[in-house]
Structure formats: C-alpha cells, structure tokens
Amino acid sequence: AFFLHIPFPPLDIYLKLPWRFTLLRALLEFDLIGFQTLRDQRNFVQCIRTLLPDVRVAQRNNQVHLPDGRRVRLGSFPIGDDAEAFQRQSRTPGVVAAADALRAELPGRELLLGVDRLDYTK
C-alpha cells in the first residue's frame, strides 16, 4: 500500500511533469493507493484516464484494472487530530499540574498552546 499525504495535482498541472507516465506506472505497482481527500483521488483517476488508455478505472468500487489482470484499490483516508484524546490528556494530573505551574508564573495572562513541526521536510 502507498498513502499520499500531500495533495495530488489536477491534470493540467500534472501534465507539466516530464516523468508523468513513469510516476503513474510506479504508483500502480501498489495494491492500494490512499489519498488525503476525495479530490486528490479524483485528480489521480483523471490522470490515469487521460494518460494511460490501457488502464480501466471502475468508479463503482474504486478499483483500477490493469492490463496484466492486477487490480489496485483506491481510497481517500483523511487524517485528523483526535480531539477527544487531546481533551482526555489535558485533564491528566501531570498536565493539570504543569498548566497550573505556568499560570502561577504568568499571573493575569491567557495561555495559548501552539504545535508546529520540528522537521520541515517538504
């Protein structure tokens, strides 16, 4: 399986890639291709239909049928934060104590929490 966690470009942008055929064929080596959104999945399907006429896409069951008989499943699997888990953790004794200590150090100020990536790889 392969999961793409960045947007898949629309056809007009994808057509600009010099390695567009190689990339599509390589992705179709996986038995499952996952996308972040349904729009990304649709962009991928449009690229296949336009660039690979020997490949058939069955929208009914989100499968790609390859000439060699293999089938590749497609799906959109949005990733999100588990808000309930964060709320549960925020009420644990250790977190409550740490927040109380910060409030004591900064009286009269409102506390905000920010979370950022430490490893910018994209």
Q: Provide the domain limits for residue 90.
A: 80-109
Is the domain of 58 the same as that of 97? no
> What's the pLDDT tens digit per position in 24-83?
999 999 999 999 999 999 999 999 999 999 999 997 879 999 999 999 999 998 877 777
Region of residue 105 (left: phi > 0; alpha: psi -120 to 50; beta: else) = alpha
**pLDDT tier at 84, thresholds 50, 70, 90:** confident
Quick one: what percent of the chain has pLDDT higher than 70? 95
* Assigned domain for 121 exists: no
Q: Is 33 exposed, middle or buried (0-12, 13-18, 19+ CB in 10 A)?
A: buried
What are the beta bridge partners of residue 108?
Answer: none
Is the domain of 13 the same as that of 68? yes
Q: Does the pTM of the predicted model rise above 0.85?
A: no
CA dist., res. 60 & res. 65, Å (int): 12
Give the closest residue to 52 by CA, choosing from 35, 67, 30, 37.
Answer: 67
Residue 122 pLDDT > 60: no
Is the domain of 62 the same as that of 101? no
Mean pLDDT of the chain: 90
- Report the number of distinct structural domains present in the chain: 2
